[in-house]
Amino acid sequence: MSDQARVLGKRILLVDDDKGARDSIKLLLNIDRHSVVEAKNGQEALELFHQGILDLVIIDYFMPHMDGSELAAQIKLAAPALPILMVTAYMEKLVDSNNPVDAILGKPFGIEELRQTIARLLT
């Protein structure tokens, strides 16, 4: 991907119950100067979502208490135009699901795949 096709400096809410996964994704996002706000669960994510303006939400699918699809549905009710990217190691569970997200990436993924997906969602 050319530098011109890269989306830089966006405000992103990153939701994953796995701190290691959050840290890894945040590192990739920081390379492109994105401002990342982190949440470890759906409830925390909803609180952060209501506090500020976001350009993108990245949500893990499998989380305790509220899965990524439930969280995405609640966010889409309040902000239908806000793009949501779901990341998951459980792609097979999402094949036939009625999921309100705009894109899905299977874990593990690389920086170029993440960049291309973000660029598609935000341009």
Which pLDDT does position 2 carry in this prediction? 47
pLDDT at 6: 78
The count of C-alpha atoms lying within 13 angstroms of the C-alpha of 28, restricted to the half-sphere facing its C-beta, is 19
Confirm if 13 and 39 have CB atoms less than 8 A apart. yes
Looking at residue 97, its pLDDT comes to: 65
What is the predicted pLDDT for the residue at 1? 44
Q: Which H helix or E strand runs over 99? A: none
Instruction: Please tell me the predicted confidence (pLDDT) of residue 81.
Output: 96
Q: What is the pLDDT of residues 80-120, one digit of tens each?
A: 999 999 999 887 776 666 788 999 999 999 999 999 999 99
How large is the average pLDDT for residues 29-44?
Answer: 96
Please state the pTM of the whole predicted model.
0.92
Please, what is the average pLDDT of the chain? Answer: 91
Domains and CATH numbers, the chain: 3-122 (3.40.50.2300)
Strands (DSSP E) contained in the chain are: 11-15, 35-39, 56-60, 84-88, 103-106
**Looking at residue 98, what is its pLDDT?**
74
Q: What span, in angstroms and rounded, lies between the C-alpha atoms of 2 and 112? A: 10
